[in-house]
Chains A and B, each alone.
Chain A
């Protein structure tokens, strides 16, 4: 009975101390000294209410700051998300002006797709630096592949050379075929030159450092990944993107592996003639 009353007293005194001094350690020490003076006969039992008392007062002052702090943190988090979204936003193409509205939609839609393409700096098979400015004012058939491809790569290259031949001989339209390698470590300029020479002399082969190639692949939204790695012997899993660029360096069409040479030349011709009108 007497012990209970003393416990209550010590608790109240502790609370009073905390209310008057709002900062931590001084309260703690004074409370401890108080309780030890009072609780010498009862030893440990008096120390028990002390943490509870201080905890109560601490939680009360903390509760006052908790709600606005949480609200502020939440708004800060939302602001960060918004900023991040703006930073990562992909610029969309203009629907108004011309036919080029994005990839694969043809020339009749006004759907705004992301702008595919951008500046790049790569090295040609003649060891010359090639940038996007060199592709200006020409119709370009751009293909991303690699020379160690077992079947799809050679087929696509054969198709490209056949299309370029057809357009040049039958319709007198000059298209520049460009081959960008996704495997620059193995596709050195001289190797690429020897490889592309067997298909067509007109194909411009581009290679370079791995970072430059990755930058261009990102700009042109090309997927590529090394698979089946066995030391130096690996394949590159890729989406085999083939883009048709108009003289203003805009991507007007993209072609996948399902096209055969006749259809491909038909589509390219359609784009070229419609744009020149």
Chain B
């Protein structure tokens, strides 16, 4: 019962790209890419990364490195996490600008029209 799952696949296959070494390489490439994004945040993002993330052309080198070192599902996962964190940061930062009382319009009086 327990052994039937391995009849088809190769039971001795070890996926190297989730072991420690490749994981560390992936994390390093990912951090490099995201720091590049932070650094070039002033530039206009033109290239499409994945799951809605955009990045400027200056970071394409680190992007290719990132995509090469990590599995594609991991790339999408990290991109999604990054977008989520950015959104939360933006919400937390924007709050400061809107604090304080709103300036209401000054009361104005109707001047009676001169005809009547």
Which residue on A lies nearest to B26, using beta carbons?
A150
> 0/1 per residue, B1-12, Cβ < 8 Å to A?
111111001111
Is A121 in contact with B1, judged by CB distance below 8 angstroms? yes
- Within the complex, which residue of B5, B20, B77 is in contact with A150, where a contact is CB–CB below 8 Å? B77
* Residue A255 CB within 8 A of the other chain: no
A210-B5, A228-B77, A230-B73 known; A194+B19 contact, CB < 8 A: yes
* Residue B15 CB within 8 A of the other chain: yes
* Residue A113 CB within 8 A of the other chain: no
A121-B2, A194-B19, A198-B20 known; A228+B9 contact, CB < 8 A: no
Is B11 in contact with A190, judged by CB distance below 8 angstroms? yes
Inter-chain CA distance A235–B80, complex, in Å, is 13
* Residue A265 CB within 8 A of the other chain: no
- Within the complex, which residue of A154, A191, A228 is in contact with B13, where a contact is CB–CB below 8 Å? A191
Residues of chain B lying within 8 A (CB to CB) of residue A150: 70-71, 73-74, 77-78
A190-B12, A191-B14 known; A234+B73 contact, CB < 8 A: yes
Which residue on B lies nearest to A122, using beta carbons?
B2
Inter-chain CA distance A120–B72, complex, in Å, is 34
> 0/1 per residue, A180-216, Cβ < 8 Å to B?
0000111011110011001000000000111110000
Q: Please provide the chain A residues from 128 to 154 with a CB less than 8 Å away from any CB of chain B in the complex.
A: 129, 147-148, 150-151, 154
Inter-chain CA distance A121–B4, complex, in Å, is 13
Residues of chain A lying within 8 A (CB to CB) of residue B76: 228
User: Chain B: interface residue count, which band?
Assistant: 20 to 34
A147-B18, A212-B2 known; A189+B11 contact, CB < 8 A: yes
Summed over the interface, the residue pairs from A and B with CB atoms below 8 Å come to a total of 67
Inter-chain CA distance A66–B84, complex, in Å, is 60
Is A209 in contact with B73, judged by CB distance below 8 angstroms? no
Q: Please provide the chain B residues from 59 to 89 with a CB less than 8 Å away from any CB of chain A in the complex.
A: 70-74, 76-78
> 0/1 per residue, A38-72, Cβ < 8 Å to B?
00000000000000000000000000000000000
Is A212 in contact with B20, judged by CB distance below 8 angstroms? no
* Residue A249 CB within 8 A of the other chain: no
* Residue A233 CB within 8 A of the other chain: yes
Is B2 in contact with A188, judged by CB distance below 8 angstroms? no
Is B19 in contact with A195, judged by CB distance below 8 angstroms? yes
Is B5 in contact with A154, judged by CB distance below 8 angstroms? no
Residues of chain A lying within 8 A (CB to CB) of residue B14: 190-191, 194
Inter-chain CA distance A184–B11, complex, in Å, is 11
Inter-chain CA distance A184–B1, complex, in Å, is 14
Residues of chain A lying within 8 A (CB to CB) of residue B1: 121, 209, 211-212
Residues of chain B lying within 8 A (CB to CB) of residue A154: 23
A150-B78, A228-B73 known; A208+B11 contact, CB < 8 A: no
List 15 additional A-B contacts (Cβ < 8 Å) besides A123-B3, A188-B12: A147-B18, A148-B15, A150-B71, A150-B78, A151-B77, A185-B5, A186-B15, A190-B11, A190-B13, A190-B14, A194-B19, A209-B5, A228-B76, A230-B73, A235-B77
List 16 interface pairs A-B (beta carbons < 8 Å), by A numbering.
Answer: A121-B2, A123-B2, A129-B2, A148-B71, A150-B73, A150-B77, A190-B14, A208-B5, A209-B3, A209-B4, A212-B1, A228-B76, A228-B77, A230-B72, A230-B73, A233-B72
Closest 4 CB pairs between A and B? A209-B5, A150-B74, A198-B20, A191-B14
